[in-house]
Chains A and B, each alone.
Chain A
Amino acid sequence: MTIRVVKSGVQTTVQARPRSGLRHLGVPASGPADPLSFALANRLAGNALDAAGLEITLWGAAFAFDTDALIGIAGAPCEVRRDGRRVDTHATILARAGQQLDIGPATAGARTYLAVAGGIAADTVLGSAATYLPAELGGYSGRALRGGDRLQICDPPGRPAPVTTPEEFRPPTGRAIALRACESAESGLLDDEARHRLFDCNFTVGARADRMGLQLDGARFETTVAGRLETAPVFPGTLQCPGDGRPFLLGIDAQTTGGYPRIAQVARVDRHLIGQLRPGGHVRFLRRSPEAARQDLDSMLRYWSRWLPGIEALL
């Protein structure tokens, strides 16, 4: 029961439930950069929402199956072909033994998720099978997949039934993404004009864009103590302002501490969207009070739990 990697693409990793409770040791969360799409893929495959699956970045990948397998695909939209013929990605896909699935380039967004019924057997390190590339932890030998790799599939419990994702649970992925955000610990280091401008301008995602974080081009911001702050904890979704004034948005592999002013914090309700930002894509921030962001999260989780029961544990 294996999947052979035919084409690994720019970066394909095994991801699973993130590491938690280890940030004080310098161990980041890791896990899927867009956990909502990851959960949707697992739902199509009949798995637990956090079962180990594949995160495929930007330019696609291809896989060959030596066994019949039920597949779920979600996240950044792309053309998927089974032995050369297009298949619908909003429904469970049956890949027969000997068939090949080609995942095309993402037409919007940055990451497509592929789940297989039963989940992928992966190395568990520090409590999680999620791949954390900088430390070579978890997943498939701690590294991104390469052509020729063979992934073991775990036995699915029972016989999963094919499903179709209802239309209202197919999140749109665009090239411009708005993120609800709250003020953070050093927002006060921006003057009034800059605090206003931060939530008023459009940023372009720079070339430095990976699972650790994204450099945002557009407006620059000055803080009074840039470069001289005491090291302080940071989290996925923290917007930092380094000395060059170009905001840096931290992603799911974010370091645990940093020394740059924390000028905003993307709200929990929208953190999964950070995983769909691509170089050249557009992002802006919508100011929310912490209380409003909390209410948004409640209603978002109520909505999604109808299709993805237990999703609150992943977001």
Chain B
Amino acid sequence: MHPGPDDPRVGPVRRAGDDLLAVAVADVVLAQALAARLRATGDWLEAVAGMASVVAQFDPQAVDAGTAADRLRDAAAGMPARPRPAGEAIEISVVYGGEYGPDLAHVCELTGLSEAAFVARHTAAVHRVDLLGFTPGFAYLDAHPDFDVPRRAEPRPRVAAGAVGIANGRTGLYALPGPGGWHIVGRTPERLFLPEARDPFRLAPGVAVRFRAMAPDEFEDRAGQ
């Protein structure tokens, strides 16, 4: 069953630069499926899913923009109604608050939750990985209304590896140190990106994640191993 060219889940193809085309789609699962379909053709330099869009980069030396836009439109029009991919559940241990989560107090102020209530809700929820992006291994988990705070107005120049961030209801896992605009509520000693491994990415879209609160002592023991 292919919804056809008037699929209400897919918006018009727009230019996002001289070699970039963007299309809005209804949700991240559709975005992931469309981006994967584009990559499989070999016609694109990059095809990347966002939460509600796909941006594809074409080689202007190989194809003109009109042809590229037609290809993107055709691929988007033929998307099947696809169920959410099922994934294994992974437990990730986190130290919340203190020096490990310097923004927890502020997030609690914004959400009206006590720190204990925040941790209880965050560890009770099942979070699904919507996409990997930003930097290698960074996982965007799905949104929960309990954690709906905006990003920081000014991004931090450096956030530690293993940082657990909150923005727009989502939890984000920083696999690597680097700049970041999310509120940092905790930190895990888990390594989410192992460049030397055959499959270097610990998480993948669709995987379910549960958080477990851990004590700073346990973190330091694990990190020291």
Contacts and interface: CB of A to CB of B under 8 A. Distances in A.
Pairing of A with B: yes
A168 interface: no
Contact of B60 (A142, A227, A244, A268): A268
A257 B135 CA distance: 8
B176 interface: yes
Contacts of B54: 233
A135 B61 contact: no
Interface string B177-210: 1110100000000000101000011000000000
A170 interface: no
Given A134-B178, A265-B20, A290 B65 contact: yes
A237 B60 contact: no
Contacts of A224: none
Contacts of B52: 230, 232
Contact of A24 (B18, B49, B154, B179): B49
B122 interface: no
Interface residues of A, number: 54
B133 interface: yes
Given A230-B53, A290-B65, A265 B18 contact: yes
Nearest to A136: B195
Interface string A172-197: 00000000001111000000000000
B152 to A, nearest CB: 8
Nearest to A264: B17
Interface stretch (A37-45, A74-82, A272-280, A293-301): A293-301
B155 to A, nearest CB: 6
A220 B164 CA distance: 30
B145 to A, nearest CB: 14
A232 B55 contact: yes
A257 B48 contact: yes
Given A182-B17, A243-B154, A290-B18, A20 B138 contact: no
A227 B155 CA distance: 11
Given A256-B48, A259-B151, A235 B181 contact: no
Interface stretch (A25-33, A47-55, A104-112): A25-33
Contact of B53 (A26, A233, A291): A233
Contact of A262 (B16, B46, B60, B154): B16
B133 A257 contact: yes
B47 A24 contact: yes
A257 B45 CA distance: 16
B147 to A, nearest CB: 14
A21 B45 contact: yes
A242 to B, nearest CB: 6
Contacts of A126: 195, 200
Contacts of A28: 135-136
B206 to A, nearest CB: 14
Contacts of A269: 18
A258 B51 contact: no
A294 B46 contact: no
28 contacts: A23-B133, A26-B132, A26-B133, A26-B138, A27-B136, A126-B200, A132-B136, A134-B177, A135-B135, A136-B195, A182-B18, A183-B15, A184-B20, A185-B55, A208-B157, A212-B178, A227-B153, A231-B50, A231-B51, A231-B134, A232-B51, A242-B153, A255-B135, A259-B151, A259-B181, A267-B18, A290-B17, A297-B18
Interface of B: 14-20, 22, 35-36, 39, 45-55, 57, 60-61, 65, 131-138, 140, 150-155, 157, 167-168, 176-179, 181, 193, 195, 200-201
**Which 3 residue pairs are nearest across A and B when measured between Cβ atoms?**
A265-B17, A257-B133, A232-B50
